[in-house]
Structure 1
Amino acid sequence: MSPSSRTPASASTPSPLEQAPDLSITADDQVHLHAAGHNESAKGSLIHGMARFRSSPLDFIREVSLHMSGTGTGWRSYDHIIGQPIFYPGFSEEMKGRVLSNPMLVAKVRELAAKRVDVEAREGLLGEEARKGVDVGVGEKDRRDRRRIQIEESLMEVGEKLTDGMICKMESKSFIRGSYYLASQLLTRAYHQGVHVSSEEVLRLRSVAEQAAKDKHSIIFLPCHRSHVDYVSLQVICYRLGLGLPTVVAGDNLNFPVVGSFLQHTGAMWIRRSFGDDQLYTTLVQSYIDTLLQNGYNLECFVEGGRSRTGKLLPPKFGILSYMLDSVASGRVKDAIICPVSTQYDKVIEVDSYINELLGQPKPKENLMDFLSASSVLSLKLGRVDVRFHEPWSLRTFIDQQQARFSQLPQKLDLKDERLRILRTMGYKVLSEINDVSVVMPTALVGTVLLTLRGRGVGKSELIRRVEWLSERVRAQGGRVAHFASLPTSVVVERALEVLGSGLVGLVPDLPEETFYAVDRFQLSFYRNMTIHLFIHQSLVSAALYTTVKRGGAPANQRISYADLYAQVSFLSQLFRGEFIFPTEGLASNLAATLAGLEADNVVKLTRSPSTSPSSATATGNDVSYIELSDVERESGRENFDFYCFLIWPFIEAAWLGAVSLLLLTPPVLVDTETQTTAVRGPRWLNMKMVQDRAQLFGKTLYHQGDLSYFEAVNKETLKNTYQRFEEEGMVLVATSTTTTSSTSTSSPSPTSPSPSPPKKLPPTIRLADAWLPSRDPTSNAILATGPLWAFAERISASRREGKNRRDGGTVKSRVLGLAGLVAGGLWEEAVVGEQEDAVYRRCIHTM
């Protein structure tokens, strides 16, 4: 029985939210209402609107003037927004004054000034009596007070300059109108099928915004981050729907000439990528966040921090989130409204550059020329953008609920630990809710199908069948598929293929049926990763079952006991806990539900123990003795089982590569032939970046030699996550970066002190924990396949996809170990040189 003829037993009627009408914003200055999605009416209007300057210059100029003057409809004039007033002359200066007069900032400036005065007094800069700590006279006290006031004024001047460079400056309606017109035309020209939202979600958001405006509460939009277009799409939607534009927290790497000023006047708030130990700057950022939230201004912050280069959600970054949480938790702000947002694209403009970065090429610095070259997107047809809003919720209520939960714990938490737990729970709650409302785009459906097939290519009829099947599976898992209206699946697939282009999906010529194949599997994986979160449980169970299925033979030989399945699923879940978001119900409950769903869908067959009571067994899965593929699944060619395996295999490959790459950290040894003792030769610590670069080289070699099935397994992002996981498990030790200087004083240098030598930032270093160090052959110095590290890699390998070059375990073992030794040789030679250079530098700065 084929997947298309098997309706998933877990499928249910799509939720009313998915059936809600779809709204699209297009460049014809209209909001279109669709029964379900694709915008046929706007097919030609966008190109016509952008080409009007050539065909009718006077009409084009008139249209632009309408936007600049605000003549016409209410949205164009943007006069009656839902939110606090921001578009008036002097707004920036007023905001700056509020920030600089914030009690927290004033107190911090006084504290820093007082500490500096104490340092100068100890150094004798304020008089000998102050340095010795004796009672000071009136004259000495006056000098200290004058010096403190002088330092406070200096710090406030620094704070004013920093504030002016940080705060957004949305104070001109004409500028905002013109910016909206430019942004909407560029956006909807590149994404020619428009920007789509759910009418139900928009109505709910407007209702929440109206109440928030009355209560003077801010709405904090927390979107996922896949593209720089994320900023534009949310601002365009808020403008078009009459909501107060949010202040967007953005990294100052985008604050380059011309563009930085433009973005700052349309909502950008610039912050440093790293705050370091700068107490003044840290307090300044908190003061600005407090000021925005106290006055009910909307905010936008990307919960993942940076853009996802892999297509799936990244773990949450807690930097700016912690400032927002502290504003409310401390009571300085009464409440704020959290609104998770999902932004999905048919095609992401930056994917090409993402692939280069993931393969180890340095990220190019943003500049004006690259920004101007973005005009080339006008000639692209990238499909559509779908933006979905989760139901907003009160941050104050969330904090109260978490604190009440923690109060029930037998061991009370201190305030710091409690805040950290609330912050972590909040971050993962937002990510989970983003996943809940995310829409699977047609390109993601096609990309996923192409990367989960065993054959080289797929015929068009089969591709359409699999896209229909995958759409059903997405809905069965509670996910949502982009609205197709009444369009047949064949048309949807054709549109997706057109957007993906021949660079990603190829067409085999001169065949009886159109046959498509994946040209760039690495780049297509970006779109496949947009669906994996929906099937992560089935994928982990399938990967665990694969440990016995790949043995082949009779069905009885391929089944696995519940205990072994549970152990392998537990192992893989822990391995990927930084990669995926798992429910909080616990492994036993999640596994029982997953097995029940796979059994209902006729993917697996469960052998149950008759002695277990049904009531207790259903919830825990303990009534299951063995798991194996069902007869129906075998007859269908294991299509469903293979689909789940293909989703997770690239991540298993990446984890295995990360594990075997740790072999590179095995230090060379010297053997004393007389005493037969060994000693480590050279340093134990290695440069982290150097190690990860070598690990990528190691992986590329394994791929081209056939010992690694997926080239995407060498991607930088996944490898970095894997190493972080190994650090958490205590397998490796990591020393964070430090800065060396010639001065041991922590105070600011005085005018009379000698100039310090230039600081040198020492990069993070890494080494294997002693318990995980592999042994070396005393004769050949070769790494041996023994010990806990090799056993750990073998356990991952048990769930890897079997390849024709990997069936002989002994051959693979010798090949991998030999290559590890070869790659590690150069690594240790470079490390010795680097350590010698650092030692010379340290000696030099301590003798100055």
Structure 2
Amino acid sequence: MSHDEENVDPGSNSAPDLQILGDEITLQPSGFVEPSVEAPEGKEQALMNQFASFRAEPLQYEPRPPSDTIVSEADPVLCRFLREVSLYVSGHGWRAYDRIIGQPVFYSGFSDNMKTMVMAAPLLQKRISQLAEARVEVEEKEGILDRNAPDHSTKRAERRRELEGALQEVAEKLTDDMICKMESKTFIRGAYYLVTQLLTRAYHQGIHVSSEEVLRLRKVADMAAKKKQSIVFLPSHRSHVDYVSLQLICYRLGLTLPVVVAGDNLNFPVVGSFLQHAGAMWIRRSFGDDALYNTLVQSYIDTLLQEGYNFECFIEGGRSRTGKLLPPKFGILSFILDSIISGRVEDTIICPVSTQYDKVIETEGYVTELLGVPKKKENLADFLSNGSSVLSLKLGRVDVRFNKPWSLRRFIEDQLSRLPTVPMGLDTNHQDPEVRAVREKILRTLGYKVLGDINEVSVVMPTALIGTVLLTLRGRGVGKTELTRRVEWLTARVRAKGGRVAHFGNAPLSEIVDRGLEVLGKDLVGLVDGLPEPTYYAVDRFQLSFYRNMTIHLFIYEALVSAAMYTRVKVGGGPSHQDIGYEELREQVSFLSSLFRGEFIFSGEGLVVNLEKTLRGLEADHVVRLDRDENGNITTIGLSDRERSVGRENYDFYCFLIWPFIEATWLAAVSLMGLTPPPGQKEDIWIEQNKAQNMAQLLGKTLYHQGDLSYFEAVNKETLKNSYSRFMEDEMVHVVKSKDPKIPPRIQLDPTWRCPRDPKTGALLAEGKLWDFTEKIARSRREGKNRRDGATVSDRVLKLSDTLGRRLFEEAEEPGGKGKVPSRLSEEEAEAVSKSRKAARSKRTKLGQRPHL
């Protein structure tokens, strides 16, 4: 080990990062800096040579090839390539993937062994027996089996065995299609080499991890292996590269590769088989009421966790198209939770993982999807064409961070200990309302804890810093000097909030900014030529918002407070006219936080505590001035003199972060007005949910181009869907989902939220419950010099929303053929909606009425 390496302080607050670029490992100073500690900067040092034994001893060299090794000077690149391939084929050193930490994988017969264990699971066999018995009873009722026949018992038993045999065959086929098939070490060595070559050509600066975190992970993995416990990796999901990078890290560390939950939409010819043999398990996108399939998935997960195999699923379900974390999806988590609560699995280790990118390969495709273009079905041709184009990209680097792993069993016990009483049958009686409520609460708490853990270790990339700065400016563009200054300021703010910023060793900030601009490219960030100073501007604000959203979680409280203050700040006049009373501020912050409860992750400390902390922090940063009474209670909030003297740049920054989301929510609320039935229209019409959301998007595009909407990203399909989900939770809108999979969900605006109409003209009126709700959102909207909320705007917006809404009702009433979606509910559906409304009202009462209008 070199002298420089010996000087690395393993106990410092700033653990070194490891850059993994193919076989090369480089030691770098950490990107994490405590708020009060200066970041140590040091030269990037080669931790290992080209073929280092990182797995066995992460801080030790592997001997170099003998000095007499023959290397052709004529073609050193070819010789190096051939030597690398030979090392993988021969399984030299760590490439052999021997002596791994965890349960054995990649051996002949692995798949058969797994299939045998899954099929033998008591849970699955019990379900098969139940389904066979249920079918026999149906056949008896229908007279297919004659109960009065003298040989009824014999025929009944024979029929049951026949049904059980058929179900066993179906289960075996489903199991074979589902399970991962880690059969060959030669295959995984070759797959590792191939994927590494592709990934490190696209992300030419490699994969970065924290040495402290990976050493801790190895230690946890070692202890888990001895107890035959699984590590369940729960990563964030922004790209298909997420699971590739985690698999590469596990291979490089010498950990058992996790079994990765993957949607069967990726299981297309050639690629599907490759992924399944590399660790993917295929599941349907929707299980429906298929009891056998549900039980089969549960049995497979039970088996993996019982046997101590590592496991990976994405906490958000699908990829985030917006750049920020999505709300947790509870499908696979519920299976894992059931494995522990039932006692079928003693314990498992949860490991939240954050994956960040300088640039995400798929962002351009995300934009088209978010603008309403239907997602294309995955196929081999697109995969190959995309793969070849990736080779020419220069996308910077990938940063992967692992939070401290923790025991799921201990987490569940802690949650149960907080309950006044634990209902009986928690592990078995899933139909009991009290049991379901407790399980849902634990599941929800688990999901949001994982998201919080991911945010805690997430690294902010230079591209995210640049994107955030460019989208939080008042002007059209920014000079290079000012851009660098604002990136430096934002870096300091991120660190002050306890966040982590990616680093580049001793490189000066201007060089880091240049690297970020190069990765983002001219399609996202433009450069104005011929000016005294290089001046940059946002070319594609929609796509650039993906990178801005990577930082918003750090400042969400400040952003909400600033937006609430804006209700007074935008009034103008002297400073005293722009002050806001504490109660008025608290009420608007409460309203906004309720609007965004499904959009952002909030602390569990509650509104009052979070608001007090945020205000004190803004006061300490000299952004706001707090007036207090004789008891020290805050009475009035206003912008500080210092903040005014710097042109409100800090306050405006927080507003610019949240304004696009406020615009999107306002747009969604405005679109609801169009769901008010037209005059003379029957009120029992139900509109297809997708069509209503598409109408909202079309409304938004029109308002943007007509100047009534400030942000084009407000027409983001994902954010509009989140708003609609929130409206449904608050029973502003009702939704019905048919048992027929061919009939899409349909919605209807609750009668109490419908806008009144002019009795003479039939035009929507700017009054009523929904209008007041929309106006309350509008109070925190950005007002530019070309737009003001007023009678003209309200009249124009209402007319447009009504026009588009009438089209929906006309289409719903049009006669159609066999495939026409019914615009009215069946008796069964109407009864289900009625029960759903009662349950929702009861749930809200128990929750103490969340803040909402």
- How high is the TM-score relative to the length of structure 1? 0.89
* CA distance in structure 2 between the aligned counterparts of 1:349 and 1:152, rounded to whole angstroms: 47
User: Which residue in 2 is equivalent to 1:653?
Assistant: 663
* CA distance in structure 1 between the aligned counterparts of 2:417 and 2:760, rounded to whole angstroms: 63
Q: Does 1:226 align with 2:238?
A: yes
User: Which residue in 2 is equivalent to 1:401?
Assistant: 414
* CA distance in structure 2 between the aligned counterparts of 1:840 and 1:24, rounded to whole angstroms: 54
Q: Does 1:720 align with 2:721?
A: yes
Q: Any idea what SS the aligned residue of 2:145 has?
A: coil
Equivalent of residue 213 in structure 1, options 207, 219, 225: 225
User: Which residue in 2 is equivalent to 1:517?
Assistant: 537
Q: Report the Cα offset of residue 19 of structure 1.
A: 1.4
Letter in 2 for 1:157: E
Q: Report the Cα offset of residue 669 of structure 1.
A: 1.2
Matches within 5 A, 1:501-580: 501-580=521-600
User: Which residue in 2 is equivalent to 1:630?
Assistant: 640
User: Which residue in 2 is equivalent to 1:391?
Assistant: 404
Q: 1:268 to 1:410 in 2, by over 3 A?
A: closer
User: Which residue in 2 is equivalent to 1:308?
Assistant: 320
User: Which residue in 1 is equivalent to 2:700?
Assistant: 699
Q: Report the Cα offset of residue 654 of structure 1.
A: 0.3
Q: Any idea what SS the aligned residue of 1:379 has?
A: coil
Matches within 5 A, 1:675-714: 680-681=681-682, 684-714=685-715
Q: Any idea what SS the aligned residue of 1:19 has?
A: coil
Q: 1:328 to 1:575 in 2, by over 3 A?
A: same
* CA distance in structure 1 between the aligned counterparts of 2:246 and 2:477, rounded to whole angstroms: 38
Letter in 1 for 2:90: S
Q: CA RMSD in A?
A: 2.4
User: Which residue in 2 is equivalent to 1:294?
Assistant: 306
Equivalent of residue 811 in structure 1, options 792, 798, 819: 792
Report Cα offsets for 1:540-579 as digits up to 9, x if no partner: 0000000000011000000000010000000000000000
* CA distance in structure 1 between the aligned counterparts of 2:302 and 2:27, rounded to whole angstroms: 38
* CA distance in structure 1 between the aligned counterparts of 2:566 and 2:129, rounded to whole angstroms: 64
* CA distance in structure 2 between the aligned counterparts of 1:805 and 1:54, rounded to whole angstroms: 65
Q: Does 1:147 align with 2:141?
A: no
* CA distance in structure 1 between the aligned counterparts of 2:104 and 2:442, rounded to whole angstroms: 32
User: Which residue in 2 is equivalent to 1:113?
Assistant: 132
Equivalent of residue 169 in structure 2, options 157, 166, 172: 157
Equivalent of residue 245 in structure 1, options 250, 257, 261: 257
Q: 1:246 to 1:410 in 2, by over 3 A?
A: closer
Letter in 1 for 2:710: S
Q: 1:410 to 1:798 in 2, by over 3 A?
A: farther
Letter in 1 for 2:221: A
Q: Does 1:320 align with 2:314?
A: no
* CA distance in structure 2 between the aligned counterparts of 1:408 and 1:100, rounded to whole angstroms: 37
* CA distance in structure 1 between the aligned counterparts of 2:694 and 2:405, rounded to whole angstroms: 42
Q: Report the Cα offset of residue 839 of structure 1.
A: 8.0
* CA distance in structure 1 between the aligned counterparts of 2:80 and 2:311, rounded to whole angstroms: 37
Report Cα offsets for 1:418-447 as digits up to 9, x if no partner: 111111100000000000000000000000
User: Does structure 1 conserve the Cα–Cα contact (< 8 Å) formed by 2:733 and 2:748?
Assistant: yes
User: Does structure 2 conserve the Cα–Cα contact (< 8 Å) formed by 1:163 and 1:284?
Assistant: yes
Matches within 5 A, 1:253-652: 253-373=265-385, 374-407=387-420, 414-610=434-630, 612=631, 614=632, 623-652=633-662
Q: For structure 1, which segment, 719-728 or 680-689, has the greater mean C-alpha deviation from structure 2 after superposition?
A: 680-689
User: Does structure 1 conserve the Cα–Cα contact (< 8 Å) formed by 2:18 and 2:211?
Assistant: yes
Equivalent of residue 91 in structure 2, options 42, 64, 70: 70
Q: Report the Cα offset of residue 804 of structure 1.
A: 2.6
Q: Report the Cα offset of residue 417 of structure 1.
A: 1.7
Q: Report the Cα offset of residue 375 of structure 1.
A: 2.0
Q: Does 1:35 align with 2:36?
A: no
* CA distance in structure 2 between the aligned counterparts of 1:17 and 1:219, rounded to whole angstroms: 27
Q: 1:325 to 1:808 in 2, by over 3 A?
A: closer
Q: 1:39 to 1:810 in 2, by over 3 A?
A: farther
Report Cα offsets for 1:305-341 as digits up to 9, x if no partner: 0000000000000000000111011100010000000
Q: Does 1:788 align with 2:769?
A: yes
* CA distance in structure 2 between the aligned counterparts of 1:567 and 1:435, rounded to whole angstroms: 27
Q: Does 1:200 align with 2:212?
A: yes
User: Does structure 2 conserve the Cα–Cα contact (< 8 Å) formed by 1:17 and 1:200?
Assistant: no
Letter in 2 for 1:768: L
User: Does structure 1 conserve the Cα–Cα contact (< 8 Å) formed by 2:685 and 2:809?
Assistant: no
Q: Report the Cα offset of residue 17 of structure 1.
A: 8.0
User: Does structure 1 conserve the Cα–Cα contact (< 8 Å) formed by 2:674 and 2:803?
Assistant: no
Q: 1:409 to 1:454 in 2, by over 3 A?
A: farther
User: Does structure 1 conserve the Cα–Cα contact (< 8 Å) formed by 2:26 and 2:45?
Assistant: no
Letter in 2 for 1:814: D
User: Which residue in 1 is equivalent to 2:109?
Assistant: 90
User: Does structure 1 conserve the Cα–Cα contact (< 8 Å) formed by 2:685 and 2:823?
Assistant: no
Letter in 2 for 1:722: S
Q: Report the Cα offset of residue 416 of structure 1.
A: 2.1
* CA distance in structure 1 between the aligned counterparts of 2:369 and 2:11, rounded to whole angstroms: 41
* CA distance in structure 2 between the aligned counterparts of 1:151 and 1:805, rounded to whole angstroms: 71
Letter in 2 for 1:82: I
* CA distance in structure 1 between the aligned counterparts of 2:353 and 2:329, rounded to whole angstroms: 16
Count how many residue pairs are aligned between Structure 1 and Structure 2. 776
Q: 1:503 to 1:70 in 2, by over 3 A?
A: same
* CA distance in structure 1 between the aligned counterparts of 2:782 and 2:203, rounded to whole angstroms: 37
* CA distance in structure 2 between the aligned counterparts of 1:102 and 1:356, rounded to whole angstroms: 45
Q: Any idea what SS the aligned residue of 2:674 has?
A: helix
* CA distance in structure 2 between the aligned counterparts of 1:53 and 1:626, rounded to whole angstroms: 77
Unaligned runs of 5+ in 2: 1-9, 32-42, 52-72, 427-432, 828-853
Equivalent of residue 21 in structure 1, options 16, 37, 50: 16
User: Does structure 2 conserve the Cα–Cα contact (< 8 Å) formed by 1:24 and 1:39?
Assistant: no
Matches within 5 A, 1:767-846: 767-807=748-788, 809-833=790-814
Q: 1:808 to 1:840 in 2, by over 3 A?
A: closer
User: Does structure 2 conserve the Cα–Cα contact (< 8 Å) formed by 1:451 and 1:525?
Assistant: yes
User: Which residue in 2 is equivalent to 1:173?
Assistant: 185
Q: Report the Cα offset of residue 56 of structure 1.
A: 4.8
Aligned residues with identical type, % of pairs: 65
Letter in 1 for 2:416: Q
User: Which residue in 1 is equivalent to 2:70?
Assistant: none
Equivalent of residue 673 in structure 2, options 663, 668, 686: 663
Q: 1:792 to 1:835 in 2, by over 3 A?
A: farther
Letter in 2 for 1:61: L
Q: Report the Cα offset of residue 58 of structure 1.
A: 5.1
* CA distance in structure 1 between the aligned counterparts of 2:291 and 2:30, rounded to whole angstroms: 52
Letter in 2 for 1:288: Y
Q: For structure 1, which segment, 336-345 or 689-698, has the greater mean C-alpha deviation from structure 2 after superposition?
A: 689-698
Q: Any idea what SS the aligned residue of 2:747 has?
A: strand
Letter in 1 for 2:138: V
* CA distance in structure 2 between the aligned counterparts of 1:342 and 1:378, rounded to whole angstroms: 25
Report Cα offsets for 1:359-408 as digits up to 9, x if no partner: 00001100001111122111010000000000000001011111111136
* CA distance in structure 2 between the aligned counterparts of 1:54 and 1:39, rounded to whole angstroms: 29
Q: Any idea what SS the aligned residue of 1:761 has?
A: coil
* CA distance in structure 1 between the aligned counterparts of 2:161 and 2:202, rounded to whole angstroms: 55
Report Cα offsets for 1:584-616 as digits up to 9, x if no partner: 111011000100000010000011111x2x4xx
